[in-house]
Structures are given as structure tokens and as C-alpha cells.
């Protein structure tokens, strides 16, 4: 061991211990930095949605059940809280096309199998994850009273519920493939952020927030309908294939006995 320079042996030994302690502390800190740098940040929570488990989660729901619960929360809770947030403003009649839901639904509609439709739905959920993080942080400029903390809180809760849905569909797809859908950092499909303003006044925020939850609700309902259709089609194909196999086996057995 290398000692620090000192006039006496005892001083040298004491300095040696101090140097060793410093080296150990630095090593621990560097180790911690390596671990922290490899872990996904909260800003990129969609990268590993199953990594951060909620404190209370006794028995995880299937993907379909988690999606159903999320839809109920949107219509029963989140949309009403957004409406209350902007009271006593009048009901919004102006429609905002941000994001473009039909474009986001198209890959799911085009999918011919249940597995590919589920994969397309999962990838679009990642787009919504990125979109929510951008939308919730847009500043609302107003001279009147407006609870920006409450607004962010609604989006944070929406984000957490969306994370649970993404996690469940991640697990569902990993069962199909026999491997994790996103072992490292997934490639998140691009979503047009050009429709999002850098800042909003109160009326613009009202239109944007109300429109977003309506669009999210519409997207999830239509996606669920498509997934159910593809699932029924898969079951019908499987039933038909089993029927053909039984007939083939019966025919071969009959030919074997008659030979």
C-alpha cells in the first residue's frame, strides 16, 4: 500500500488510513453513478413501465382488465376533474385536432392478426406517453386564479394509469414472443408535437385539455374494439384449423384400418 508522505511513522499510518477511506468513498460514489446512469429516468418512464411497481398491487390484472379500468377512470374521473378545473367556463364546442387520432389508429386497423394489432396498439400507447409528458408541462398564462398544480396532478395520475396499461401489454406481448418486448430502450414511434403550443392562455388550455381526454377516450375505445375483433378472428381460425386436423386424423385412421 502506498503511504502519503509524512514526517513520522504514526502520522504516515494515519494518513494511509485516511487515503484508503477516501479511495473507498470515491469508489462507492462512482459505482452509484454507474447504476444511476444505466437506469431510466422518470422523464422516460415509458422505457421500462414495469420497473417501478406501485406500493399496493395485490394480484396484477390482465391487459384487457387494466385497459377497461383505465377507460372507466378517464370517463368517470379524469374528464370530470378537467371540467371542474375550468369552472365556471362554458362547455367547449371548438374541436382541436391534437393529436391526430385517426392517424394513430390506422396501424391498428391495418393489422391483420391479433398479435400485430396488439403490437401496434402498444407502440401507440408509447406515443401517448411521450405526448402526455409534453402537454402537462406547457405553462398556462393567466392573470386570474388557476390551479396549475391540480392540472399537473390530473396528468400525473393519468400517466400512472397509462403506465400500468403499457406494462400489462408489454407482458402480454412478451408471452407471444418468448422474450421482453423492450429489453433496453425501445424505439418510440414518432408523434407529431407540432400541434402543441409553447404556452397557452386559459381558453387555449381549456380547449387543449378537454380535447385531449376526449381523444384519449376515443382512441382507447376504438382500439379495444379492434383488438376484440382480431381476437375473435384468431379464435375462429384456431377452431377451424382444429376441425380440419380432426378430420385429417380420422381419415388417416380410417385408411390405416382398411389397408
Q: Compute the average pLDDT of residues 222-244.
A: 84
Domain of 136, in residue numbers: 45-53+61-246
Within a domain: residue 4? no
Question: Average of pLDDT values for 81-103?
Answer: 81
Q: Which of 2-6, 125-129, 193-197, 249-253 has the lowest mean pLDDT?
A: 2-6
Q: Is residue 117 part of a domain?
A: yes
The answer to the question of residue 29 being in a domain is no
CB of 184 within 8 A of CB of 133? no
Does 10 fall in a domain?
no
Rounded to a whole number, what is the distance in angstroms from the first to the last CA of the chain? Answer: 88
Structural domains counted in the chain: 1
At residue 24, the pLDDT reads 43
Domain harbouring 84, CATH code:
1.20.1250
E strand map for 115-168: 140-141
Q: Is 257 part of any domain?
A: no
What percent of the chain shows pLDDT beyond 90? 43
Instruction: Please check whether residue 154 lies inside any domain of the structure.
Output: yes
| pLDDT, mean of residues 250-257 | 69
Is residue 78, in this structure, part of any structural domain at all? yes
* 143, three cell numbers: 392573470
The pTM for the full model equals 0.70
Grid cell 504514526 in the structure block, residue? 10
Q: Is residue 25 part of a domain?
A: no
Tens of pLDDT, residues 137-170:
999 998 888 999 999 999 999 999 999 999 999 8
- The residues near 45 (Cβ < 8 Å, ≥ 6 apart) are 52, 129, 159, 163
Question: Higher-confidence residue: 210 or 46?
Answer: 210
Amino acid at each position: 500500500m502506498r503511504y502519503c508522505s509524512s514526517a513520522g511513522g504514526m502520522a504516515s499510518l494515519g494518513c494511509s488510513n485516511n487515503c484508503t477511506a477516501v479511495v473507498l468513498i470515491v469508489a462507492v460514489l462512482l459505482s452509484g453513478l454507474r447504476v444511476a446512469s444505466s437506469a431510466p429516468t422518470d422523464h422516460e418512464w415509458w422505457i421500462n413501465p414495469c420497473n417501478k411497481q406501485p406500493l399496493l398491487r395485490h394480484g396484477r390484472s390482465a391487459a384487457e382488465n387494466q385497459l377497461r379500468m383505465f377507460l372507466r377512470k378517464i370517463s368517470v374521473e379524469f374528464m370530470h376533474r378537467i371540467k371542474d378545473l375550468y369552472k365556471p367556463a362554458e362547455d367547449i364546442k371548438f374541436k382541436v385536432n391534437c393529436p391526430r387520432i385517426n392517424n394513430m389508429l390506422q396501424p391498428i386497423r391495418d393489422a391483420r392478426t391479433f398479435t400485430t394489432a396488439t403490437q401496434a396498439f402498444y407502440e401507440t400507447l408509447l406515443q401517448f406517453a411521450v405526448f402526455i409528458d409534453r402537454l402537462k408541462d406547457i405553462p398556462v398564462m393567466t392573470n386570474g386564479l388557476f390551479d396549475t398544480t391540480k392540472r399537473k396532478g390530473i396528468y400525473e395520475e393519468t400517466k400512472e394509469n397509462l403506465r400500468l396499461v403499457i406494462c400489462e401489454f408489454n407482458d402480454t406481448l412478451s408471452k407471444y414472443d418468448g422474450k421482453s418486448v423492450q429489453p433496453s430502450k425501445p424505439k418510440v414511434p414518432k408523434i407529431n408535437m407540432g400541434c402543441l403550443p409553447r404556452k397557452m392562455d386559459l381558453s387555449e388550455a381549456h380547449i387543449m385539455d378537454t380535447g385531449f381526454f376526449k381523444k384519449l377516450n376515443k382512441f382507447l375505445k376504438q382500439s379495444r374494439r379492434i383488438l376484440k375483433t382480431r381476437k375473435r378472428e384468431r379464435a375462429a381460425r384456431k377452431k377451424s384449423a382444429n376441425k380440419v386436423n380432426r378430420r385429417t386424423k380420422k381419415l388417416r385412421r380410417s385408411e390405416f384400418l382398411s389397408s
